């Protein structure tokens, strides 16, 4: 359903036909939440008719080699709270309901298969208890673990399942394939504190891993995390009307994320390491799916691990939660490299999500399709942009390539053609499409009321939106309803109509991320912001790993000049446990940290970096640390207070779907 692209107020009246006068007709009530309109039923039926949903090949691969499963009802934390419900996705065992895109339903069924699976003799995977997959390789004396999941609890449960099924063995190596938390957050669930402190267990990661693992969410983490609650459906149920899976995996656990730095970061392509008698040949893939990432080849197993560079979905070139845009061209080239170098030498390809592929011919077909889909979205977006298309126009004009009809593993269960096309455009051209009127456009909160007035008032807009909704034009309906909501956030009818439009868009979405984003947005419109409290302010493991200068840079983005109550000044922080000195120039507009001593500080604070971390986490009080002598201050103590009091603590549950 094409969106009319005509600049100015008239686009609402004239873009798709002749202008008509504003109507004063009153819009009726939206359908009951959970209603699946006929248009949505037809759209989902069309998907089922177009694709070979019953193709059993992926189901055979996803279930192949099942050895055992966790039999209890849930994985719990130390307090007995549920981290992962084993049965939460049992509803997927039925046929696809009309409220779910049948292609996404198929993918979610496959991803929900859980247990310990044998990939080959000595090579195993734990799947279905986390967003990611943990792979296990039998070494000469113990287990080598690849990507120990998101949470310590799910990782520990996975390793326990391995030991119970295959026999107790120590952990003799750990690999992090890349710098996203669902691939290293569970490390403390599989390693003891003694093993971590002694460095006895090698922990290998790609070059740049530590920097990127701690930094990606540091400066912009509050905003990213808030949007992630929508993307992963954290605040909505698991059922046929809500979250059915992320497309990349079942979902995120509610557990403890840890951080254990690697003992070595690996660079290059063809770099060899032997861990517990097993040979690993590493392939650097930085700048593809993650800023720091490697794949690896196991010659003794004739097995290729593609990490998260090639999985059973078209991935996100720009994730909806927000991150630095990724390079689709480099992504395609990295896959082509392993196809060329290892495709003919591999009997198995396995990844950090989903299920493996067996057979050299199947592997080459899989890698070719993965390479081609990233190359396609890159090249065709640029072809259209170079012919004058804006970001939205290029994405709308991008046709589904034939390879998407032939193979499910290239379909947009996580990323989508439309979204990834816009990401490619952003990578090369930024946020602006070149139209002068859009370069310095007014904020939506200001324009919404003007649009509504120009169209004849809220009821007129709602009536037009209802017409679009009843015609099955849900994208256009959502745009109309959204104007009314942003013009008047207290208009309950508008919010309910917008929620209804979002619901239909979610019900039709093939991407699990899109579905959850729409349905979580609808939930917020109907019920307000989730009343689930604020998340933890930070993680001690992560905080310890953050270089001090980067920690002060993160504090600087919280500096509110309006809160500064004195003339500019400087501070010096001497961390007595690390030997570091950080100076902070506090100006009327900016805070500038430096890794050097201040010339003439208003105050010098001597304390342990570990105590400073406690202050950041709000597990220690500044006044108490001063009283106990754990903070020593020379100079004006009010200067330190002025700096700290000028830092904002941003709210986590800020509005997104309403102004």
- Residue (of 352, 290, 338, 286) closest to 317 by Cα position: 290
Q: What distance in Å separates the CA atoms of residue 135 and residue 112, rounded to the nearest whole number?
A: 16
For 130, other C-beta atoms within 10 Å of its C-beta total 33
Beta bridge partners of 272: 281
**CATH class held by domain 547-645:** alpha beta
* CA atoms of 386 and 382, how far apart (whole Å): 6
pLDDT of residue 539: 76
| CA nearest neighbour of 111 among 238, 11, 285 | 238
At a CB cut-off of 8 Å and minimum separation 6, what does 141 contact?
A: 169, 170, 172, 276, 277
The 3-state secondary structure of 486-546, one letter per residue: HHCCCCHHHHHHHHHHHHHHHHHCCCHHHHHHHHHHHHHHHHCCCCCCCCCCCCHHHHHHC
- Residue 620 CB neighbours (<10 A): 18
The DSSP element (H or E) to which 278 belongs, if any, is strand 278-284
Token pair belonging to 557: 């983005």
Where in the chain is CATH 3.60.15.30?
A: 51-423
Max CA distance (Å), the chain: 79
CA distance 562 to 560: 5
Q: Residue written as tokens 């996803």?
A: 62
- Dihedral sign for Cα atoms in the order 625, 631, 635, 640: negative
- What is the spatial distance between Cα 368 and Cα 357, in angstroms, rounded to a whole number? 13
Q: Locate tokens 């309403």: which residue?
A: 658
Strands 269-275 and 278-284: antiparallel
Contacts of residue 406, Cβ cutoff 8 Å, sequence gap at least 6: 369
Nearest to 398, CA basis, from 407, 389, 410 = 389
Q: What is the pLDDT of residue 537?
A: 53
CB 479 within 8 A of CB 464: no
Rounded Cα distance, 245 and 597, in Å: 51
As given in the structure block, the two tokens for residue 11 are 């686009």
Task: Residue 96: name the closest of 109, 112, 85, 86 by CA.
Answer: 109
| Residues in Cβ contact with 536 at an 8 Å cutoff, skipping those fewer than 6 apart | none
- Per the CB < 8 A criterion, the answer to whether 259 and 215 are in contact is no
3-class secondary-structure state, position 381: helix
Q: Identify the pLDDT of residue 618.
A: 87
- Closest by CA to 304, choosing from 285, 317, 289, 290, is 285
CB-based contact 260:203 (threshold 8 Å): yes
* Chain center to CA of 60: 28
- Residue of 150, 172, 145, 173 lying closest to 161 (CA atoms): 145
| Count of other CB atoms within 10 angstroms of residue 181 | 21
CB atoms within 10 A of CB 517: 26
Is residue 267 within 8 A of residue 285, CB to CB? The reply is no
Nearest to 315 by CA among 384, 244, 233, 370: 370
Q: Do 370 and 310 touch, CB atoms closer than 8 A?
A: yes
3-state secondary structure of 619: coil
Contact between 461 and 488 under an 8 Å Cβ cutoff? The reply is no
The reported pLDDT for the residue numbered 19 is 34
Range(s) of the chain covered by CATH 3.30.1050.10 = 547-645
Q: Give the tens place of pLDDT for each residue, 615-626.
A: 988 899 999 999
Alpha-carbon separation of residue 445 from 173, 318, 487 (angstroms)? 53, 25, 7
* Nearest C-alpha neighbor of 262 from the set 287, 289, 288, 294: 294
Tell me the two tokens of residue 313. Answer: 């979905």
Which residues in 30-39 are b (16+ Cβ under 10 Å) and which e? bbeeeebbeb
| 178: phi then psi, degrees, rounded to nearest 5 | -165, 180
Q: Give SS3 for 559.
A: strand
Task: Please tell me the distance from the alpha carbon of residue 121 to that of residue 273, in angstroms, as a whole number.
Answer: 21
pLDDT at 533: 64
What was the pLDDT predicted at 536?
A: 61
Q: Which of the residues in the chain have pLDDT under 70?
A: 1-25, 532-538
Distance of CA 134 to the CA centre of its chain: 18
Tens-place pLDDT, residues 38-88: 999 999 999 999 999 999 989 999 999 999 999 999 999 999 999 999 999
Q: How distant, in Å, are the alpha carbons of 8, 205, 482, 556 from that of 460?
A: 18, 58, 14, 46
Q: What is the DSSP secondary structure assignment for residue 93, as one 8-state letter?
A: G
**What is the Cα–Cα distance from 625 to 610, expressed in whole angstroms?**
12
Q: Does domain 51-423 correspond to CATH entry 3.60.15.30? A: yes
């Amino acid at each position: 359903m094409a969106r009319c692209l005509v600049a100015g107020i008239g686009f609402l009246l004239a873009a798709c036909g002749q202008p008509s006068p504003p109507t004063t007709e009153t819009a009726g009530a939206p359908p009951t939440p959970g209603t699946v309109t006929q248009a949505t039923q037809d759209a989902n039926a069309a998907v089922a008719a177009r694709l070979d949903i019953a193709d059993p090949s992926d189901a055979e691969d996803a279930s192949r080699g099942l050895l055992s499963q966790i039999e209890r009802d849930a994985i719990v934390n130390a307090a007995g709270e549920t981290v992962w419900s084993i049965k939460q996705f049992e509803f997927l065992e039925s046929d696809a309901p009309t409220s779910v895109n049948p292609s996404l339903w198929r993918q979610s069924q496959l991803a929900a298969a859980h247990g310990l699976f044998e990939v080959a003799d000595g090579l195993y995977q734990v799947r279905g208890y986390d967003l990611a997959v943990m792979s296990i390789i039998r070494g000469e004396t113990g287990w080598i673990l690849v990507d120990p999941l998101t949470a310590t609890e799910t990782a520990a449960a996975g390793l326990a399942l391995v030991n119970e099924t295959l026999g107790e063995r120590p952990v003799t190596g750990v690999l992090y394939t890349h710098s996203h938390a669902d691939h290293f957050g569970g490390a403390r669930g599989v390693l003891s504190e003694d093993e971590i402190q002694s460095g006895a267990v090698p922990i290998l990661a790609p070059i740049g891993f530590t920097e990127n693992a701690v930094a990606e969410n540091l400066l912009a983490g509050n905003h990213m995390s808030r949007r992630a609650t929508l993307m992963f459906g954290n605040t909505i149920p698991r059922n046929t009307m809500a979250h059915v899976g992320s497309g990349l995996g079942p979902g995120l656990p509610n557990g403890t994320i840890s951080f254990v730095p690697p003992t070595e970061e690996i660079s290059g392509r063809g770099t060899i390491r032997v861990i517990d008698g097993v040979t690993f040949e590493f392939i650097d893939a930085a700048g593809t799916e993650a800023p720091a990432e490697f794949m690896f080849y196991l010659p003794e197993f004739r097995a290729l691990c593609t990490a998260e560079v090639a999985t059973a979905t078209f991935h996100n070139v720009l994730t909806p939660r927000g991150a630095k845009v990724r390079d689709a061209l480099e992504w395609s080239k990295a896959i082509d490299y392993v196809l060329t170098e290892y495709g003919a030498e591999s009997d198995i390809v396995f990844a950090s999500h989903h299920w493996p592929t067996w057979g050299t011919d199947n592997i080459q077909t899989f890698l070719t399709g993965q390479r081609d889909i990233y190359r396609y979205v890159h090249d065709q977006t640029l072809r259209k942009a170079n012919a004058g298309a804006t970001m939205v126009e290029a994405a709308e004009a991008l046709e589904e390539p034939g390879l998407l009809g032939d193979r499910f593993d290239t379909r947009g269960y996580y990323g989508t053609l439309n979204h990834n096309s816009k990401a490619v455009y952003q990578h090369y051209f930024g946020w602006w499409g070149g139209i002068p009127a859009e370069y310095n456009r007014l904020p939506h909160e200001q324009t919404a009321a003007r649009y509504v007035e120009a169209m004849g008032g809220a009821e007129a807009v709602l009536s037009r939106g209802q017409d679009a909704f009843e015609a099955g034009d849900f994208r256009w309906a959502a745009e109309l309803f959204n104007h009314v909501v942003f013009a008047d956030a207290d208009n309950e009818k508008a919010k309910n109509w917008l929620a209804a439009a979002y619901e239909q868009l979610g019900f039709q979405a093939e991407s699990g991320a899109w579905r959850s984003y729409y349905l979580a947005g609808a939930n917020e419109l109907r019920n307000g912001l989730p009343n689930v409290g604020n998340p933890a302010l930070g993680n001690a493991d992560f905080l310890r790993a953050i270089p001090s200068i980067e920690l002060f840079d993160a504090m600087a983005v919280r500096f509110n000049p309006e809160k500064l109550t004195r003339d500019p000044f400087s501070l010096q922080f001497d961390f007595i446990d690390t030997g570091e000195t950080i100076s902070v120039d506090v100006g009327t507009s900016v805070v500038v940290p430096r890794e050097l001593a201040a010339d003439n500080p208003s105050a010098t604070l001597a304390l342990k970096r570990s105590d400073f971390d406690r202050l950041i986490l709000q597990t220690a009080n500044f006044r108490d640390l001063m009283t106990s002598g754990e903070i020593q201050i020379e100079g004006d103590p009010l200067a330190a207070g002025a700096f700290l009091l000028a830092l904002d603590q941003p709210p986590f549950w800020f509005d997104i779907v309403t102004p």
